[in-house]
Structure 1
């Protein structure tokens, strides 16, 4: 029988689980939003359950906040002070690990993915420090992997890196992400097997790229196809390229950068030379074979004593709009995405820890919960930084984690 809470004086009413919340996280993912997502993904329960779907969504986010805790301990933290607040039904007990797992299986990964896609929007406003360059929102794409539980189902879905004696100890989930550099908020993510290349995963992020963005990427992500796919979104790009990428010099610009062509793979040297001559004469270039870009080349002696040349190709062709020095400085913001992913892997998950869900669907569900937990904390830090005029990415993420964990424990019964 489902437990209920009877109204007595000022006591809350309704089912006990209606009063399970996550403090500041509940404010970010409202009950109305959860209901919308559950309706859209058709995961609303058909009968009254002890662990309804909206509670399990919050529970999966709480798993991200308390990654090292057991399943039932996470639930205890959510409901720990309900008795003190007068909303505890003496007949209600914390569900068993088995009951929690069954409720997670009923929920599946789809509502968590849909909630992330619906809620994880860019956080920086016009006054957020460090988030903009020439009215463009600085964003970056990158990829990383997470160890998952070593079960036959997870191995089959996600695979291992390497093979034979050199195979990884655990199967690995590959995650490609789009992050807002100024806030460290991850605003887009794609999950896949570890053998799926990061370019393949990153291609599925273009649907959330917006025209007001300046998207940064490292050399490992560059390909003719992917660069053009991102450029076609209307966003501006500043991507590093490796020495193997053929670049055809067109003309120098006043700031020391230069206009150039990048080519579709497979063009002969003669064809590339004729295209450069056409561009220098002001002719139209067939976008199916080459693209006019601007190239910024520089070195960072204090980081690369050997004088390694960094080559950026950008779709911002006007050197007066964003000078070369500003683009070079902005490219360093790409490391903010690595920092954001590091916050998930180190501060939330814990260094070297494994996503312990035993089945692929629950692994993906848990990963979306981690991403949502990280986003909620980053949103909290932006809310705190902006009024004070601070740069959000200078605020301590781990301190934010501690604050939210205390909120969950001390104010668990806030009604969503």
Structure 2
């Protein structure tokens, strides 16, 4: 028995700076209940690749919000100007106590954070619907910015924090705001938006006898390339303090750090060694503060799906990249000036915060925990000293109203943005930010059959 499903494709001009309103196109099709359930996720629509056309005799995936080409947006109905361009740009100078409850759009430079590093999966759909990536300034945004400002002159070992909160409270948004804040201040930023990919065996790994860890050359190569793209100007101002030699690749001390990065981005086998050397130089320099930001932070403390030659599970701290991140998080290694900031994600049931991390952050346990439960001494050490930044579970009315008005001004709602509609949505979502956007405002794009 088949069920009726809908696929909504919302046009977006995310890649361009100009805004044209784009229509919501509804494509109808039929799929089995099993196939429909496979492509759905709790709380919204699963991010997927561009969907292929339906073949004869075959089903069609449940779609997501994808942009239309500019050639399809020439009708007068699609050229209504948006008022989103009037919103201020999110930056350190614009963040004040009076900006709480206001909507700001993230900047979109050619080598910006969003384009280089990407964003967590749960933010992809929201950024595709609107003409520009946005955020709502909250009280916790200002307090986190003040924390980072104080960290700009201290070692990162003194500022190691983890953003926590209920599911859908806006932890990933707060981490992204922190990243954008530091970029606007001229910091060196290393951002990992999906740390689960570091431990879910999605990239190759190889054992290195020198470091006695498992290297991840593919992931390290991509991370190094994106790191250089975001921090290109800073890399040209920093000189390496010790020579680098790996095989027939050599670089004398005093060379620009950008030259060292080029060695790693030109040969994937060199990427792990180059990345470690780059972090060493970045940590020693005092010209600019450094921010290490990791989303899905709890995944670094979980069991991995990687296997060794005996098919035994590999610990996360036996993988090269997670180990480096854990050492900075635990304070074993630190930047001369800067901070380490993580965010816990509740979207994956497989990668939940472990007992050691919960106890370090003072979080409650979902199940009773026996005092005789064995704690891993390694994970306890990596979690020691972490600070908890708790995000409020709900929006304030002013914050939700600003977001609702933003969607209305950007012509993303399919009804008039009245006070009655807003209060209905806000009440139905119980003030939860994700439910307010995904279950209420995104549901306004669903047309009745």
TM class by smaller structure? under 0.3
TM-score under structure 2 length normalisation:
0.26
The structure number with the bigger radius of gyration is 1
